[in-house]
Chain A
């Protein structure tokens, strides 16, 4: 039946030459069997056994059952589609819940730090993303600033992102140096991250009195320091991506943000945004924008870069999460 998909009548199973190898139960005297099909796909088989009063099943019975089977298959298919739709709705509900949870994990507004103007944004490519940024208040004058990008996208990446954020927040409060904070976070995360996943992470601590910014760059795109005179510097010192080798040591470096200087941290969703010709936005375009930004608020950096990335991408959909974090020292 599975192969032939044709109705079948057997009225003398034991002596039917077509089924000699079958170990028939003694209670089967006769049967009529028809396939249940939807769009040529077999979804089941409908079989009646042992016609009453010992009469044989007729071709008429087979035809009647075939008609019933046609209608039943449609009903079964409709019920199956309905169940699938219900399941899909549940998944979508879960996804929007995950989106809500993730949105709440990201800072809803920038902190107010005397002498500084701070802004950040993360725009996932899918419902949930693997990028994140964070402001961590260590004490009244010290702020941890983080921006990370978990490899991959979607739900898996977002779960790892939540883990990464929680781990770093936990470690940031110990008052350790920046590189130790990352080393301990990396050690913890390496135990939890499955093979092949990792996080590129930029983390630094701002001293809001002196403007000193100590940082470590764990395999992340090099952030820019946009000096007040329009020159750019990149922040590279750090080490390997996080979550891969638990015993990894990290280096740290420091810069001083002078009045008018701006730190611009971003994820690769900015520089790797593609246009329909598959040309990336690239560092060069970003550098050009940053050099010519002028004395504008932190939020304007984000708005300007995002608008330029959008313009570059044109009709091409956003391929990766886009995240930016800007810290400007006010004049």
Chain B
């Protein structure tokens, strides 16, 4: 599984590594988010610093994560995107309007620490 979780400040950090394809990882990722939500977690940072590639259904999985958390007044923020993935988010216009991105996990986690 190309993602792992840890906790930083008051946020859960999900680190995605390598290729993130919604068709392969989408279901496990969705279940992970639901598990976090059900255990009372609200703030999630997706650490993309080790992610090299993402397809459209991978983006879809992240949108799913965001809506899952927003529904319970939580939030999902992105951190450490490499240019290739950032371009994908810029192209789809999801950055800024839907997702906030930060250079580091720390900054993203700190932004939720209110």
Q: Which residues of A contact B (CB under 8 A)?
A: 149, 151-153, 195-198, 200, 218-222, 238-241, 244-245, 268, 272, 278, 320
Contact = CB atoms under 8 A, between A and B. Distances in A.
Interface stretch (B39-47, B75-83, B86-94): B86-94
Contacts of A239: 93
B60 interface: yes
B93 A151 contact: no
Given A241-B93, A244-B98, A152 B64 contact: no
Contacts, number: 61
Residue of A149, A152, A278 with most chain B CB atoms under a 10 A cut-off? A152
A152 B94 contact: no
Given A153-B57, A197-B60, A320-B55, A241 B92 contact: yes
B22 A152 contact: yes
Q: Which 10 A-B pairs have the closest CB atoms?
A: A196-B64, A151-B56, A219-B92, A196-B60, A152-B57, A240-B93, A151-B60, A241-B92, A219-B93, A196-B63
A221 B56 CA distance: 12
Interface string B1-34: 0000000000000000000001100100010000
A200 B57 CA distance: 12
8 contacts: A151-B57, A151-B59, A196-B67, A198-B60, A219-B92, A219-B93, A241-B93, A244-B63
B94 A240 contact: yes
Given A195-B64, A196-B61, A244-B98, A152 B56 contact: yes
Given A151-B56, A195-B68, 5 more contacts: A195-B64, A196-B30, A200-B91, A219-B93, A220-B91
A240 B67 contact: no
A152 B93 contact: no
Contacts of A151: 22, 56-57, 59-60
B98 A219 contact: no
Interface string B85-114: 000000111100110000000000000000
Interface string B48-63: 0000010111011101
A152 B60 CA distance: 8
Contacts of A218: 93
A241 B57 contact: no
Contact of B56 (A200, A240, A245): A200
Contacts of B30: 196
A59 to B, nearest CB: 51
B93 A221 contact: no
A195 B92 contact: no
